A and B are shown apart, each in its own frame.
Chain A
Amino acid sequence: MMAETDLGRLYQDIVLRHSRSPHNQHCLPAPDARAEGHNPLCGDRITLYLQLDDGTIREAAFEAVGCAIALASASMLTDAVTGSRRDQALALAAAVQARLSGDDTGGDLGEIEALSGVRAYPMRVRCATLPWRTLEAALRGAHRTVSTETDGR
């Protein structure tokens, strides 16, 4: 039996605050990097825009159609990576995905920890990881849509 508290852990206040009023939800007209993510199972779509300055992310923004978890994750992502170097952002993307998939226990991820409620919901993990996979695609210059249904996670 799944307890009500599991649902509370999934939809924590901080997650709902981000999903109701996402940060940086707009397009950047001339981004240095950009990628699209798609979850064909549920129709979630995200476009991530990055403004880079000498390998450092100066601005991150997104546009998305998605569930509360996907929107909150994208919103937290843009907050977290602004000011990060490319390699730091990639390391964070890897750490977050490991945490959300349950393969990892170490390290403090700050408010992103609040997304780890998805671990009790295998069918919702992809909602939370999609923005991070899209970030990886943008930073690696992959000019294609990443999908939750290809290459691993």
Chain B
Amino acid sequence: MTGIGQHRTCQEPVLDVERIRRDFPILQQDINGHPLVYLDNAASYQRPRQVIEAISHYYERDHANVHRGVHTLSHRATEAQERGREAARRLLNARSTREIIFTRGTTEAINLVAASLGQSLHPGDEILISHLEHHSNLVPWQLVCERTGARLVVVPIDERGELRLDEYHRLLGTRTRLVAMAHVSNALGTVNPVEEIIATARAHRVPVLIDGAQAIAHQAVDVQALACDFYAFSGHKMCGPTGIGILYGREEWLEKLPPYQGGGDMILSVSFSGTVYNDLPYRFEAGTPHVAGAVGLAAAIEYLEDLGLAGIERHETRLLAYATEAIAALPGVRIIGEARRKAGVLSFTIEGIHPHDLGTVLDHQGVAIRTGHHCAMPVMEHFGLAGTARASFAFYNTVAEIDRLVAGIGTAMRMLGA
């Protein structure tokens, strides 16, 4: 058991971060002669021992193919897979596991909706996205638009990196067939006002897909309260394995959509004259699933639930505020993305030092950050940049690690500065 350790005098539980860190074997190592400071969590989280052990245990004791055998191991594997689905349902507070589809990740989840919903699009129809999107919530829609003659409409952002809600209201129109937007921007950390985005779209009877990749490990998400139609996230951005993700789809929508890929498991009966598709959610899951991924995902969800997402959010908010203040105070630093609501991400540039050079110097001191365009080239273009340095935080990061980051930036400035 890990998690909420000490209590302050008020009721707000505080994360026992030192204890939590002991759950993460990867954090216990030196990189280039220094204790690792891992601040690239927006790209991928690290995994606690509980997740790694759950996957090992599955392969050592329970593995077989699912839904196919009458033998004990096939039954165990099927149960393991479905426990993962139930854990994802619980995390999102979906009504039913019929609404939980396993995918390879957020990208495939979005591509699934694009491929299936795209079949009913016509020339002149519009897909509404934002200027903040990761390429994975942009390129699938471009492909659909090329195929169908539909039009991609982009809601602009302002100089703080916030969505222009006035423009959103203006661009959402009678031709809009879907709104697809990030919950949290991976490049800037902007938290979008998804409640308002969804409520407005629903008033126009337009379905909404939320790309939750960057939000899921940082705050509690309730798809019923949000009333979104689709919500996508990845296991690896929430302490789970790579290669597994979830598409939540409101049942009424999933019932209407044609299948995504064909193959085993997504069918009830097959003959050369025709095929009867399986029921939800299996209709959208062709082929042998990533059972070990589902097992790891369940373990990751249980781990986060154990810590409590409210405590995680408070801890990360504190880290972000501390890091923002410390880094903004350095000479020549420009913070990129100053939205009023941000989560876990600090993007910045330093005058005279290219992000890649900064990344290399920091790596030498054991500090891992991301540098570049963060798969969000339109966002970089908006700020007139080729890339930024990005530090992104998880619940296992500490203030002392941010001090190491700041010290490392100081070294880079002395070494590379003009």
Contacts and interface: CB of A to CB of B under 8 A. Distances in A.
B30 A67 contact: no
A61 B108 CA distance: 44
Interface string A37-76: 0000111110000000000000000000111110000000
Interface of B is mostly: mixed
Interface of A is mostly: mixed
B400 to A, nearest CB: 22
B33 A16 contact: no
Interface residues of A, number: 23
Interface residues of B, number: 21
A11 B416 contact: yes
A7 B416 CA distance: 11
A3 B372 CA distance: 25
A86 interface: no
B354 interface: yes
Contacts of B352: 20
A115 interface: no
B30 A41 contact: no
Contacts of A42: 355-356, 371-372, 386-387
Nearest to A16: B416
Contacts of A121: 360
Interface of B: 30, 32-33, 352-357, 360-361, 364, 371-373, 380, 386-387, 415-416, 418
Contacts of A124: 356, 360
Nearest to A8: B415
Contacts of B415: 7, 11
List the 8 closest A-B pairs by CB distance, nearest first.
A43-B386, A67-B354, A67-B356, A2-B32, A1-B33, A43-B387, A68-B357, A7-B364
A108 interface: no
A10 interface: yes
A66 B387 CA distance: 10
Nearest to B354: A67
Nearest to B34: A1
